Amino acid sequence: MERVTQVIGQSSAFLDALERASRAAALDRPVLVIGERGTGKELVAERLHRLSPRWDQPLVTMNCAALPETLIEAELFGHEAGAFTGATKARIGRFEEAHRGTLFLDELGTLSMGAQERLLRAVEYGEITRIGSSRAVQVDVRIVAATNEHLPERVEKGTFRADLLDRLSFEVVTIPPLRHRPGDVEVLAEFYGRRMASEIGWVDWPGWGPNALDILVHYDWPGNVRELRNVVERAVYRWEQDGPIDAIEIDPFQSPFRLRTMQGSASSAPVPAAAAASAPVVLEAQPALAGATDFKGRVARFEKELLQRALADHRFNQRATAEALGLTYDQLRHALKRHELLQVGG
C-alpha cells in the first residue's frame, strides 16, 4: 500500500523551502536536501519525486547510515554470485531498482570515500558496475540526497569529495528547523492532536489549554517535527479529564525513580537501590527559612531561594539554569511561574 505523506506548515521560511523544492522537481537534475534531524527531509524528497516527470516510476530509498561500510557498495550497485562471502546469488542494487525513477540517498555524509568515488561515476556517466562484475550497466536515475551535515566543511577536511558535492548540488533545499518556523508549532500540534484523538476513538477534539500551548510554543524542539509529534500524541492519549488538554510532558524519561549513575566513576552501572536508601541525607541549614514554621512553607521558601541563586549564578539564562538544576526547560518555567520569578531574566 502506498504511504500517504503530508507536509504541514504555514511559516514563510518553510513555505519558501517547499517552493524551491517544487520548482526543482520538474528538472531532471540532482537535488540536495539539508536539514536537522526530524525536519522532514524524506517528505521533501518524496515531494520532489511526486512532482517530477518520473512520478509514475519507482522511488527507491536507501539510508546510507543504516549499513556497514562493507555492504554499502553492494547495496548501491548490486553484486554477482560469489563476489564476496555470503553472496550465494546475483542481486541488483538500488540504482538498478530505481531505473527510470528516483533514488533517495539519506544520510549521504556517512558514505565512505570509496563509495563516493563509485557514486560519482554513476551520477556522471549513468552507468554502474556490480561488485564482482566487469560489465557496466546503464541506468537512468534521478538522485535526491539528504544530510544533516555541512558538506562544504567536510570537503575542506578531506572527508567528502568536492567533485561529488559539485555534481549533486545543482539545487540545495535547506529545511528550516521548527524553532525558526513561527506559528507552525500550533498548526502541527493541532493536526497531530486531532489525528491522535480520532485514532483512540474520541468523539470531539477538546483542543489545547493555555498551559500546554505555552510549553509547546516556548520549547526549542531539538528533534523538530518528529519530537513534536511524539510529545503531542503522548499528551492526548494520557489525558483523562474533561476540557482542553493542558498537561505536556516533554521528556518521557523524567521520573522521581529515574536511574542515576555514579558521578566521576569509571562504571556506568546504576547505584543499587539498597545503597541509595542507606545513604544519609544531609540538609544544609538555611537561616533565611526561619520565618516559615510549617514544612510546606519551608520547602517553598528553600525552593524559591534555590531558583534565585541558580538564576543569578547563570546570569539569568534560563536554559543554562535548567540544565544546572537537572530540570527540563518547561519544568524550570513552571517553577519560576509558581514562585512569581518569571520576570527575573525574562
CATH number of 287-338: 1.10.10
> Residue 289 pLDDT > 60, yes or no?
no
pLDDT at 339 > cutoff 70 = yes
Average pLDDT over residues 212-239: 95
- Statement: residue 205 has pLDDT above 80: yes
Top-confidence residue, 3 or 91? 91
163 pLDDT above the threshold of 80 = yes
pLDDT tens profile 34-86: 999 999 999 999 999 999 999 999 999 999 988 887 788 888 988 888 777 76
User: Taking 90 as the threshold, does the pLDDT of residue 207 lie above it?
Assistant: yes
Can you give the pLDDT at residue 280?
40
pLDDT > 90 fraction of the chain, expressed in percent and rounded: 56
> pLDDT tens for residues 116-149?
998 999 999 999 888 888 888 999 999 999 999 9
pLDDT (average), residues 179-203 = 95
What is the DSSP secondary-structure string of 238-285?
H--SSSSB----S-TT--TT---B-TT-S--PBPPHHHHHHSPP----
Please state which CATH class domain 12-176 belongs to. Answer: alpha beta
Please give the pLDDT value at position 260.
67
Lowest mean pLDDT across 160-169, 219-228, 244-253, 256-265: 256-265
Q: Which residue has the higher pLDDT, 344 or 327?
A: 327
pLDDT at 162: 96
At 206, give phi and psi (nearest 5°): -80, -15
Query: Maximum distance among all alpha carbons in the chain?
Result: 88
Question: What are the residue boundaries of the structural domains of the chain, listed by start?
Answer: 12-176, 182-207+217-238, 287-338
CATH architecture of 182-207+217-238: Orthogonal Bundle (1.10)
Mean pLDDT along residues 27-35: 96
Residue 119 pLDDT: 92
pLDDT greater than 70 at residue 266? no
Give the burial class of 194: count Cβ atoms within 10 A of its Cβ; 0-12 exposed, 13-18 middle, 19 or more buried.
middle
Task: Give tens-digit pLDDT for 94-120.
Answer: 999 999 999 999 999 999 898 899 899
Nearest Cα neighbor of 298 from 285, 281, 312 is 285
How far is the C-alpha of 326 from the C-alpha of 52, rounded, in Å?
49
pTM to 2 decimal places: 0.71
Task: Identify the pLDDT of residue 6.
Answer: 74
Q: What nine digits make up the cell of 25?
A: 522537481
Q: What is the pLDDT of residue 285?
A: 42
Element (H, E) at 77: helix 69-77
